[in-house]
């Protein structure tokens, strides 16, 4: 195994450990809640009423997470396309440039 692959594997294991260890050490004793739910609860306690209702409300949490995944995939695709396009432009520009003569 080359040194680069070993470093990559160790980095991946470190990232997995960063996520798995807190969950394993906690043993499920605490309830993990996002800041969205805490902010929503604080806003509702202050007596705020929304100005309008949502245009579309998903029927279940599975549909909502599926739409979120679709949005993330589309964003990743657009980002990958743009970065590839920019890299291709730079490569074409470097290839078209005349070599430096001594």
Q: What pLDDT band is residue 19 in, cutting at 50, 70 and 90?
A: confident
- What CA–CA distance (Å, rounded) separates 96 from 46? 63
- In tens, the pLDDT along 36-92 reads 778 888 888 998 888 888 888 888 888 889 999 999 999 999 999 999 999 999 999
* Contact status, residue 64 vs residue 58, Cβ threshold 8 Å: yes
pLDDT in the model for residue 16: 94
Average pLDDT over residues 27-43: 76
The pLDDT score that the predictor gives to residue 92 is: 92
Residue 101: predicted pLDDT: 53
Residue 30 clears pLDDT 70, i.e. is over it: no
> Which pLDDT score, from 0 to 100, does residue 39 have?
86
What are 1-10's pLDDT values in tens digits? 789 999 999 9
Task: Please check whether residue 81 is in contact with residue 90, taking contact to mean a CB–CB distance below 8 angstroms.
Answer: no
**Range 16-35 average pLDDT:** 78
CA distance 99 to 102: 10
């Amino acid at each position: 195994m080359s040194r680069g692959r070993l470093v990559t594997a160790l980095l991946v294991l470190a990232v997995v450990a960063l996520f798995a260890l807190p969950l394993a050490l906690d043993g499920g004793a605490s309830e993990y809640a996002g800041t969205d739910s805490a902010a929503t609860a604080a806003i509702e306690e202050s007596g705020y009423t929304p100005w309008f209702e949502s245009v579309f409300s998903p029927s279940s949490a599975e549909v909502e997470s599926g739409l979120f995944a679709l949005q993330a995939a589309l964003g990743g695709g657009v980002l990958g396309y743009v970065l590839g396009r920019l890299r291709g432009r730079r490569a074409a520009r470097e290839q078209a440039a005349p070599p430096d003569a001594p």
